[in-house]
Each structure stands twice: as C-alpha cells, then as structure tokens.
C-alpha cells in the first residue's frame, strides 16, 4: 500500500532541512522549505518504483529544485539594482559637465562600451541605430552593453561599500 503524502512529508522533513543546511541557506528559510516541499510533492506524484529508490529520487529532486531557485535569485539580484545602492551624488548630464561626470564613472570601460553609454543612455538611441552608426552588428552592441553594465555595477558597488 502506497503511503499518503503527509506520511512521506513527515518522513522526509529532516532531509529537507539537511539539504537546506548543506546549501547554506539561511535567509528566507521558510520559502525554501516551501519550495522543497513542492519538489517532494512532485517527486511523490511522479515516482516510478521500477527505476530505483524513492529516497535518492526525492533527494535529487529537492536539491535540484532548490539549486535552480538559488540560481534564479542570484540572476535576479545581479540584474536589479536598488536605489540604496546608487551613489548619493548624482551625475549631472547637462551641458559641458556630461564629459566630466561620465569620465568619473566610465574610465574603466573600453571605447566601445563607453560609446554604448553615450549613444544609448545619454542620447537615447536604440541598439540598431548604434549598430548602423558604428557599422557593426546589433549583437556586438548588445555585447558592449552587457560588459559595460557588469563593470558599472562593480564600480557602483565599490562606491557604496566605501561610503
């Protein structure tokens, strides 16, 4: 006779907490317990006794789901910057001060990355416009953007850590 999910959950709750501990999850632990419970439920519903033990299947399902969730969290944090992470003094993008303000923040960028900042951010041009102007592909301009954003985030993080 197949056990109920409540019985399985009671049996595998220590495993869930063990996996969370081994992945060094300490923030929002309840949410990860919830994600692990969902993974256990999915494993419980899709188990095939002929393919091996349920314990190893449950372990790999739970751990995999938690790792995927952690990756999504990291990716989200890398792409979203909060206002408290911005430098307190803003950049004045009016008149002659544009070049002075930009140089301070873009000195570590390559010429192409700086070109992306000036054309897309300051002048508001689209990627395909910049690509035509520079006689390169849109993919190349996207690459400039990706690398420029990484470097700019690093610089902003340095500024906020030193403040």
What are the tens digits of pLDDT across the range 128-162? 999 999 999 989 999 999 998 888 888 777 777 77
The percent of residues above 70 in pLDDT, for the chain, comes to: 85
Mean pLDDT computed over every residue of the chain: 83
Assess whether pLDDT exceeds 80 at residue 58. yes
pLDDT tens sequence across 105-114: 778 889 898 8
**14 pLDDT above the threshold of 80:** yes
- Confidence at 97, pLDDT banded by 50, 70, 90: very low
| pLDDT, position 68 | 94
- If one compares 82 and 73, the residue with the highest pLDDT of the two is 73
Identify the residue with better confidence: 89 or 143: 143
Residue 45 has pLDDT above 80, yes or no: yes
In 47-137, alpha helices (H): 54-79, 97-106, 111-116, 127-134
What's the pLDDT score for residue 99? 53
Residue 156: burial class (beta carbons within 10 Å; 0-12, 13-18, 19+):
middle
Q: Is the pLDDT of residue 35 over 90?
A: yes
Closest by alpha carbon to 12, among 59, 64, 47, 65? 59
Closest to 134 measured CA to CA, from 119, 151, 150, 149? 119
CB neighbours of residue 21 within 10 Å: 11
Q: Which two tokens stand for residue 83?
A: 């206002």
Residue 138 burial (10 A CB sphere; 0-12, 13-18, 19+): middle
pLDDT at 161: 72
pTM score, two decimals? 0.51
pLDDT score of 102: 66
């Amino acid at each position: 006779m197949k056990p109920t999910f409540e019985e399985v959950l009671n049996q595998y709750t220590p495993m869930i907490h063990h996996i969370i501990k081994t992945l060094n999850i300490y923030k929002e632990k309840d949410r990860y317990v919830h994600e692990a419970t969902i993974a256990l439920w999915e494993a419980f519903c899709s188990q095939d006794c002929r393919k091996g033990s349920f314990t190893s299947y449950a372990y790999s399902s739970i751990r995999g789901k938690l790792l995927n969730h952690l990756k999504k969290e990291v990716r989200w944090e890398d792409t979203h910057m909060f206002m408290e992470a911005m430098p307190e003094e803003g950049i004045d993008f009016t008149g002659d001060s544009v070049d002075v303000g930009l140089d301070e923040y873009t000195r570590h960028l390559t010429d192409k990355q700086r070109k992306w900042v000036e054309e897309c951010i300051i002048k508001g041009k689209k990627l395909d416009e910049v690509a035509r102007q520079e006689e390169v592909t849109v993919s190349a301009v996207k690459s400039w953007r990706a690398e420029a954003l990484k470097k700019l985030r690093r610089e902003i993080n340095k500024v906020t850590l030193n403040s």
